[in-house]
Chains A and B, each alone.
Chain A
Amino acid sequence: MSAQGPALGERQRAAIEERGPGPVGVTLSVNGEERSLEIEPRVSLLDALREHLELTGAKKGCDQGTCGACTVRVDDRRVLACLTLAMTCEGREVTTVEGLAEHGELHAMQRAFIAEDAFQCGYCTPGQIMSAVALLEEGHAGDDAEIKEWMSGNLCRCAAYPHIRAAIRSVRDGQRR
């Protein structure tokens, strides 16, 4: 059912501007700042942040979408930076844990994670915090059962889960605002 039309295809591909496979100029808006970088199209958002922009807050735990350590916000949603190609984020707003504090003032969730000891090694923590902030915005922190389920995309091998829930509860309940 697909009529082959290489000529048309070539034309169309040209029309939509094929870039790569070598390094190409890309502009990303990260934490409110326009950042230019030269990357191959195969570079993930996670590697663009970590290896090209020196933003190492988003962590690489698996590079396979199975741990959540790379959770960042793209536009208004928490996503996994390891399964996102950086170029797909052109024209979108990327927020990482480095962009959470404002003027040096920690976000309430960051303060709550410290106060509740919601981490040990700290490696999954940026992802947990980005996820937890989104969780509250999504309205899925109603009770502990809901927090548990909607935070299950972020693995913590130190198993700080009970304290992560406590931190989320405390922000939800406004104790630390």
Chain B
Amino acid sequence: MRPITYARAADAATAIAAVSADPGSAFLAGGTTEVDLLRQNVLTPRHLIDINDLPLNSIEPQPDGALRIGALARMSDVAADPLVRERYPMIAQALELGASAQLRHMASMGGNMMQRVRCSYFRDAESPCNKREPGTGCPAIEGVSRGHAVLGVSEHCVATHPSDVAVALAALQARVHTQGPGEETHAYAFDDFFLLPGSTPDREHPLAHGELITAIEVPAVPVARRSLYLKVRDRESYEFALVSVAAALSLVDGTIADVRLALGGVATRPWRAMHAEDFLIGAVAQRANFEQAARVELSTARPTPMNAFKVELAQRAMVRALETLANGSPA
């Protein structure tokens, strides 16, 4: 880890001003990704602005039925929140299936949105990596890529977005609220907040330097009351997903009235399964349709030989999630 300075901010404006003034500055929240990557010399800020004291940790229902989750609310707080558990089981489940109890106590929701990929080439400061050092190449494509993405990939980057809860939030079309240096605020649609790697995998979000996430707003999504998060991995716990599915489903007379689907572990960003959703709306809730929807969604997959199994696994996981909900037994 390079030498750094440390300052603790008491209010957002001060923190934002301090970071935006200097490209060598960065916010520090839970630190679970940041301190790790500082030590790996993957992140190299000179100045850290500790924002943990900012009053951004509340979880508040909004008049329009949405839920506003403060950016510094910890994963464990959000998972335990009664409103979250009642309205959005998939969020609570995604959170509790992520990381470990200790990490969930530390990691903030805003930080979760900003967490970096687990690609071992990215994490090794001396390997080529287009995300870390644009133009140096992507050794993962022909390297060890079992955990890498099959959707949203480019010839420049195949790193999987690692978040669980972001998958649920993608399914729910959450909005990410930020504040910039002039105290201006901005609300990003979830899909706009996570950029595909394309030819600029170093650019993961549309944020300006110093722009601070203040909250995540989850809209009212009635179908989400019957939702689940299914996570498939080698180890039973404490591991990133090989494949995950956030799903919500409502039926009317055996026909799908509403559905939300998003995938994790297989894509370069939290992957809302729009094609599958489109196929399913109005369809009969039966396995053949679930399978077809999954096939449609994965039809654009571009796997490597080592992660080709994820294409099949993702489809099976989607079918499992939908069948579980259709059979009336969400986890």
Contact = CB atoms under 8 A, between A and B. Distances in A.
A134 B48 CA distance: 30
Interface string A15-26: 111111110000
Contacts of B201: none
A57 B160 CA distance: 36
Contact of A135 (B38, B101, B182): B101
Nearest to A135: B101
Interface in B95-137: 99-103, 105-106
A4 B106 contact: no
Interface residues of B, number: 52
Contact of A2 (B31, B48, B211): B211
B106 A8 contact: no
B35 A12 contact: no
B6 to A, nearest CB: 4
A83 B35 contact: yes
Interface in A58-90: 63-65, 68, 71, 77-80, 82-85, 87-88, 90
A107 interface: no
Given A4-B21, A10-B21, A63-B39, A20 B3 contact: yes
Interface string B1-40: 1111111111000110111111001001001100110110
A5 B6 contact: no
Given A3-B182, A16-B18, A41 B6 contact: yes
Contacts of A21: 3-5, 46
Interface in A1-54: 1-6, 8-10, 12-13, 15-22, 40-42, 44
Contact of A6 (B21, B48, B52, B99): B21
Contact of A41 (B21, B48, B180, B237): B48
B211 A19 contact: no
Given A42-B1, A152-B236, A18 B103 contact: no
Interface residues of A, number: 50
A18 B6 contact: yes
B21 A8 contact: yes
B50 interface: yes
Given A80-B106, A84-B31, A138-B101, A153 B238 contact: yes
A150 interface: yes
B17 A9 contact: yes
Contact of A4 (B20, B35, B36): B20
A16 B102 contact: no
Contacts of A84: 31, 35, 106
A80 B208 contact: no
Given A9-B18, A80-B103, 16 more contacts: A1-B184, A2-B180, A6-B22, A8-B17, A9-B17, A9-B19, A9-B22, A13-B25, A16-B7, A18-B7, A21-B4, A40-B4, A138-B101, A149-B236, A153-B102, A153-B103
21 contacts: A2-B181, A2-B182, A8-B17, A13-B22, A13-B49, A16-B18, A18-B47, A21-B4, A22-B3, A40-B4, A41-B6, A77-B105, A80-B32, A83-B32, A84-B31, A85-B31, A85-B48, A88-B8, A88-B31, A153-B102, A154-B100
